[in-house]
Structure 1
Amino acid sequence: MHPRASEFTDRAADRGVEVDAREFPEGTKTAADAADAVGCEVAQIASSIALVADELVVVVTSGANRVSEAKLAALRGVDPADVRMADADEVKETLGWAIGGVPPFCHDRSVPVYLDETLRGFETVWAAAGTPEAVFPVSPERIEAVADAEPADVAVE
């Protein structure tokens, strides 16, 4: 197992969460790639997207959705013009993970996490496990509990 995936599974275990990380050498960089690899719907891919909206936040969104910057701005009480994607350095420095491998929890620093409410319609979703080649199955409720995530309407309509 890739050292970063092992690190994630160890961090999760420290929080009482068993992770069944599965690696796909061909990569799971996009939601469609991940869905093809694990054999699920694109909507069941839980993509952790890092954005800046007065501070770095993580939005765990369905792979079938795009994050609405306007809806995130309203949640955060900031001007929509001030919401942007976090850059690779910000993601690595704050969360400790590289873009494409950001898990929904076990970040280096505590940040606000929002859970796309459409994910709650699935029993199991698949999230990144520390690298762009590793994913793990998890219930949306578990993400919500472990990440202290706020369910929210964050999808572009």
Structure 2
Amino acid sequence: MSIEKVKDYFRQYGMEGRVLEFPVSSATVELAAQALGCEPGRIAKTLSFLVGARAVLIVAAGDAKVDNHKYKAQFGVKAKMLSADEVTELVGHAVGGVCPFAVNEGVTVYLDESLKRFDTVYPACGSSNSAIELTIPELERYSGFAGWIDVCKGWAED
């Protein structure tokens, strides 16, 4: 199970106990915000795209939407989200639990600027009923991100 992969990943840092599991679904931003009792923007959603032949993950604030113009300027191609089957195969997590931790080899992770306005955020942990609260520096460290990008719109500081 994907959540076990993520817990194993965090175990090396002594953080597996920080992984939260809920009796309800947290598969969408709205459901995760309800399960956690926080504002939707603090849900760090992980979006999966195909750039050329490689999978790219963009972790963004829950209230942000991908801006196609900004995306194309960043990656040089039109935004193409992965299908549910492609996400599982290429990333290693199923839709609803996609996160930037314990992903398959060759997956590149980016963090969107929309996250920087929060002290802590809640990314999923490999299942549709899990999350972990991380500070932005922790998210940077544990996601193995390639860099900060600005490809979203519709959030408070837009």
Match of 1:151 in 2: 148
- Report the 3-state secondary structure (helix = DSSP H, G, I; strand = E; otherwise coil) of the residue aligned with 1:47: strand
| Residue 131 (structure 2) aligned to one of 132, 135, 154 | 135
> Under a length normalisation based on structure 2, what TM-score does the superposition of the two structures give?
0.86
1:32 to 21, 30, 33: 30
| Partner Cα distance (2:19, 2:142) in 1 | 17
Aligned-pair identity in percent equals 32
Correspondence 1:77 to 2:76:
yes
* Partner-residue secondary structure (3-state), 1:141: helix
Aligned counterpart, 2:64: 65
What RMSD over aligned residues (CA atoms) do the two structures have, in Å?
1.7
Structure 2 residue aligned with 1:94:
90
Distance in 1 of aligned mates of 2:123 and 2:97: 9
Contact 1:69 1:84 in 2 (8 A): no
Q: Distance in 2 between matches of 1:71 and 1:93?
A: 27
Gapped regions of structure 1 (runs ≥ 5): none
Q: Which residue of structure 2 aligns with residue 112 of structure 1?
A: 108
In the alignment, structure 2 segments of 5+ residues that lack a partner are: none
- 2:97/2:130 contact within 8 Å kept: yes
Deviation at 1:125, TM superposition (A): 0.4
Q: Tell me the distance in 2 between the aligned counterparts of 1:73 and 1:111.
A: 19
Please, which moves more after superposition, 107-116 or 120-129?
107-116
TM-score by length of 1: 0.87
Which secondary structure does the structure 2 equivalent of 1:121 belong to? coil
Tell me if structure 2 keeps the 8 A contact 1:103–1:127. Answer: yes
Is residue 60–residue 111 contact of structure 2 (8 Å, CA) maintained in 1? Answer: yes
Q: Structure 1 residue 17: deviation in Å?
A: 6.1
- How far off is 1:148 after superposition? 3.1
- After TM superposition, the structure 1 stretch with the greater mean CA deviation from structure 2, 109-118 or 89-98, is 109-118
Partner Cα separation in structure 2 for residue 100 and residue 128 of structure 1? 8
| Distance apart, 1:102 and its partner CA | 0.9
Amino acid in structure 1 at the alignment position of 2:10: A
3-state DSSP of counterpart to 2:24: coil
Structure 2 distance, partners of 1:115, 1:60, is 5
2:6 maps to what in 1?
8
For the residue of structure 2 that corresponds to 1:102, the secondary structure is coil
CA distance in 1, matches of 2:11, 2:69: 36
